[in-house]
Structure 1
Amino acid sequence: MSRSLVVFESMYGNTEAVARAIAEGITAHVPVEVVEVGAAPAEPGDDVALLVVGGPTHAFGMTRPATRQDAAAKAGRATVSQGPGVREWLESLRDRPGTVGAAFDTRVVRPRVPGSAARAIARRLHRRGLTVGDAPHTFWVAGSEGPLLDGELERARAWGAALAAEVAVPAGGAP
């Protein structure tokens, strides 16, 4: 039986909340596991049919060690993700032809600046041979530490359900 895996990087908890909401949408169709990037397996397993990866947008793209340190310093507390981020995890991911991939990020709604971690994640998933069918999704936060805007978790659940419906295989066998 195929399953799905949602891997996230989160500084203040907003991206984690989105990842868990996406998983809630997926679970109606296929089994799902949600994993913080520091605990994500280097080899997700051949039974993973859907790999969803997300993180916050920092400095126009995916986080880097310096932007993660800045986020922790601004918060004055430990961040959710404290080790290597999605960028480093994707570099170590083996090629996965036949796996469906999807990318998401969280971004500050104002000021609206260019760049997107989700687009960068989608490009890297594609380079690893994943089929990235749906456009990268952005979920909006009110400020750098949040909160998420109203309705974003519902939007994440709906997107997760739509993604899972694409890879779900009914009891008869054919999709």
Structure 2
Amino acid sequence: MRTWVVVESMWGNTRQGARAVAEGLGEDAQVLDVAQAPRLTGDVDLLVIGGPTHAFSMSRASTRPDAVRQGGAATAEATGIREWLAAQERAPQLAVATFDTRVASMRRLPGSAARAAARAAGRRHLGHVVGRESFYVTGVSGPLADGEVDRAREWGRTLRNAR
């Protein structure tokens, strides 16, 4: 079984969460930065997509420059999970899980990159969603809140057992 964890990260917090999810998933999980992630291949059984929540959804070409102005990585400005998902072909056999990072003080606000990515995967006919989660950061630039790395690792274990 082959697993890809495709991640978009501006400050490294979402990437840290992706690595923890991959640890929980096991040896076959490969973390791929969204800017370098290839198109899906038929030998991928589980796709985990992670990105930051920007303006209540996945990042957009219009929101990433603002994140860079706030100190996010300039290399993350060009491509996000929104564009990567839009470029994928149908893969109805695929199991998909999505996660996002969001500011802990805004837990109750509507909208989530994970929810939007799950909907986008459905519209692209990228299989069936087996999980969705949010991990919290202490501020716009992070770091991940206490316990979130462990929670991400445990969510990965849950996904491994759910496939």
- Per the shorter chain, which TM-score range? over 0.9
> Does residue 89 in structure 1 map to residue 88 in structure 2?
no
8 Å contact kept, 1:7–1:54: yes
Aligned pair count reads 161
Specify the alignment match of 1:171 in structure 2: none
**Unaligned runs of at least 5 residues, structure 2:** none
2:150 counterpart (151, 154, 161): 154
CA distance in 2, matches of 1:48, 1:111: 34
> Does residue 101 in structure 1 map to residue 109 in structure 2?
no
Aligned alpha-carbon RMSD (Å): 1.3
Change (3 A) 1:106 1:64: same
The residue correspondences of 1:55-70 to structure 2 (distance < 5 A) are 55-70=51-66
Q: How far 1:126 sits from its partner (Å)?
A: 1.8
Specify the alignment match of 1:13 in structure 2: 12
Change (3 A) 1:79 1:25: farther
Q: How far 1:127 sits from its partner (Å)?
A: 2.1
Q: How far 1:79 sits from its partner (Å)?
A: 4.1
TM-score by length of 2: 0.94
> Does residue 40 in structure 1 map to residue 29 in structure 2?
no
CA distance in 1, matches of 2:111, 2:73: 25
DSSP 3-state at the match of 2:93? coil
CA distance in 2, matches of 1:9, 1:73: 17
The residue correspondences of 1:64-143 to structure 2 (distance < 5 A) are 64-75=60-71, 78-79=73-74, 81-112=76-107, 113-129=109-125, 130-134=127-131, 136-143=132-139
DSSP 3-state at the match of 1:51? strand
TM-score by length of 1: 0.87
8 Å contact kept, 1:36–1:81: no
Change (3 A) 1:80 1:16: farther
8 Å contact kept, 2:7–2:32: yes
**Unaligned runs of at least 5 residues, structure 1:** 168-175
